[in-house]
Chain A
Amino acid sequence: MLLRLLLVIFAVVTPARAEEVVAGLSQKQIAISTNFDGSEILIFGAVKREAAIARDSQLGVIVTVAGPAQELTVRRKEKWSAIWINRDSLEVRSAPSFYAVATTAPFDTLLTDESDLVYLVSVDRAIHAGMASEGVDDQNNFIDALIRIREANDLYQSNEGTVTLTGDTLFNTSIKLPANLVGGSYNVRFLLTREGRVISQYETVIFVNKVGLERFLYALAHEKPTLYGLMSLAIAIAAGWGASAVFRYIRA
């Protein structure tokens, strides 16, 4: 009911849009199985429009993928007498475990700084936005470090110019998901831009789930930890005894 009301309001206040995104993903689910070693999702779509293609400005497409949010602590080491120890730390309330941006052209030609501030698209803005935190004076240094470390691990990616746009209508891109992926729902966002402003937005979700043995073990460890612990010990002792028996047999 509330949702419908919101939709009605939305329809009233926003003028009929000239261009809209119609998009798809190569897969709605990503299964983490035992041999999972990263994955690539293909993202494709089309621009739906009622009028003729506007030629006076350049159409831009931006695709973002954001993983489940995490609560983090970022620590900084400082020299204390002769040794380096963790001194200041910043509590980050919410940072995406994964964040990738793909665009058709250099980022600042597609979106103005003001629009970025509103839509939180670029890696910097998207990560800084989740930081309602206290404790240090120079929290930007901590957040920059968070982004730097995660960019080095491909967990945060800024892929400018990797979206291919054909005839101002069809677009496609692929986003590489690293092997150390956290399970959960990944938010995929599509933005159409003209003259630095967002003219259309569309969101969808892709689920990353453990399957098979991975899922069984994860569930057991969290739901029946005592049984899981005993099972781990039983495996350890059986393996230890087994190896001993095998070696005795080999020697005899």
Chain B
Amino acid sequence: MQVYLPIAEVSVNAFLLLGLGGLIGVLSGMFGVGGGFLMTPLLFFIGIPPAVAVATGANQIVASSFSAVLAHFKRRTVDLRMGIVLLIGGLVGAALGVQLFNMLRALGQVDLLVNLCYVLFLGVIGTLMFIESLNAIFKSRSGKPAARKRHNWVHNLPFKVKFRTSGLYISVIPPLVVGVLVGVLAAVMGVGGGFIMVPAMIYLLGMPTKVVVGTSLFQIIFVTAFTTMLHAVTNYTVDVMLAVLLLIGGVIGAQFGTRIAVRLKAEQLRILLALMVMGVCGKLAFDLFAQPSELYSIAAVGGH
């Protein structure tokens, strides 16, 4: 069944979009990532104009994250206080990110920077997570409990606050900085930023994996909602028809994802996410290094 999308101005298969949304939704529920880092490239691939893909992806992430976060609220795995601190940072970061994006667009190299960002962040995070999870699995196999390092430099900063749900007593500065960084990336790369925030919360802030996913989703909802509004008002690139199809698949997928996540061990969950992050990184790196089959590309000036 073909559907003509009013803003993207292309006709696509409705079931393809539902399936795509469903796949991203499962990942969103399982890992607490918005799935934008997969969604945006996949939408490019099926022929949606990049500007529309980025803006609509943000809107779709709001839906699947909202669906998933409700499931987490029920299980009390959302650290609200931590979420709000991350959110304040995130909104500041998103506003900064939009400025940066427009500046780079004027220079004409925004695509390259976005790709390099992806390869760098995904590569480093994926590899680190993979190694760490493997170690954790070997340790648990050999019978010793996996001891997480509880004290590092992060714990010596001022403005300490008690985060009861996470069982932490740390400074608000690191979560604020993480929030700002994720906000900038959300605006520049058109993603929720969960794939950066989840590892940062685990390794940098020392939050328990259980709480990380729900809290990350909580923050992502607000940051992506903010980004959606910015795109809708400045570029008119949010395609609500595309978003509805993606999110019908997405919200259903997210529910399945959270149920799968309950059955898996934290280490297994992390190793799966690490493998996926490294896979996407590999594909993007390949595109940068290999000679493209078509050297030329066409972009519309103004609008999309």
Besides A180-B47, A232-B228, 17 other A-B contacts (C-beta < 8 A)? A34-B3, A35-B2, A74-B299, A76-B296, A84-B291, A85-B112, A86-B109, A149-B297, A179-B2, A180-B11, A218-B7, A221-B236, A229-B229, A233-B225, A236-B63, A236-B225, A247-B71
A240/B70 in contact, CB under 8 A: yes
Closest Cβ of chain A: how far from B115's Cβ, in Å?
9
| CB contact between B11 and one of A73, A142, A179, A243 (< 8 Å): that residue | A179
B interface bracket (residues with beta carbon within 8 Å of A): 35 or more
| Closest Cβ neighbor of A215 among chain B residues | B6
Assess the A231–B247 pair: CB atoms within 8 A. Answer: no
B233, chain A: closest CB distance, angstroms: 5
Asked whether, in the complex, the Cβ of B236 is within 8 Å of the Cβ of A75, the reply is no
Whole-angstrom CA separation of A229 from B290 in the bound complex: 39
**With A and B bound together, what is the CA distance between A235 and B248 in angstroms?**
10
Q: Taking the nearest CB of chain B, how far is it from the CB of A150, in angstroms?
A: 8
Which single member of B10, B62, B301 contacts A73 (CB below 8 Å)?
B301
Binds A, one of B84-92, B135-143, B196-204, B250-258: B250-258
Per-residue CB contact flags for chain A residues 187-223 toward chain B (1 = under 8 Å, else 0) read 0000000000000000000000010011101100110
Q: Which of the residues B2, B300, B302 comes within 8 Å of A37, measured between beta carbons?
A: B2
Main secondary structure of the interface of B (DSSP, over half): helix
Interface centre among B231, B238, B289, B297 (most CB of A within 10 A): B297
Q: How far apart are the CA atoms of A78 and B112 in the complex, in Å?
A: 12
B247 cross-chain contacts in A, Cβ below 8 A: 235-236, 239-240
For chain A, the bracket of interface size reads 35 or more
Across the interface, name the chain B residue whose C-beta is closest to A82: B289
Contact A77–B236 (Cβ < 8 Å): no
With A86-B111, A237-B66, A244-B71 in contact, is A229–B228 under 8 Å at CB? yes
A71 touches B229 (CB 8 A): no
Within 8 A of A (CB), among B45-68: 47, 59-60, 62-68
- A183–B63 CA distance with the chains assembled, in angstroms: 30
A72 and B6 within 8 A (CB): no
Do A181 and B62 touch (CB < 8 A)?
Answer: no
Q: Can you list 23 A-B contacts with CB-CB less than 8 angstroms, sorted by A residue number?
A: A35-B1, A70-B300, A73-B298, A73-B299, A76-B295, A84-B290, A85-B112, A86-B112, A145-B295, A146-B298, A149-B296, A179-B11, A213-B241, A214-B6, A229-B229, A232-B240, A235-B240, A237-B66, A239-B251, A240-B68, A240-B254, A241-B67, A247-B255
In the complex, A38→B2 CA distance in Å? 10
Q: How far is the CA of A72 from the CA of B241 in the complex (A)?
A: 26
A142 near B296 (CB under 8 angstroms)?
yes
A226 interfacial by beta-carbon distance below 8 Å: yes
A233 and B62 form a contact (CB under 8 A): yes
Is B292 at the interface (CB under 8 A from chain A)?
yes
Question: How far apart sit A231 and B70, CA to CA, in the bound complex (Å)?
Answer: 21
A32 touches B4 (CB 8 A): yes
Q: Which residue of A lies closest to B301 (CB)?
A: A71
Binary flags per residue of B234-252, CB closer than 8 Å to A gives 1, else 0: 0010101101100110011
Q: A236–B66 contact, CB under 8 A?
A: yes
Complex Cα gap A102–B115 (Å): 42
Binary CB contact string for chain A from 141 to 152 against chain B (1 if under 8 A, 0 otherwise): 010011011100
- Interface membership of A242, Cβ < 8 A: yes
- B63's partner among A38, A72, A149, A240 (CB-CB below 8 A) is A240
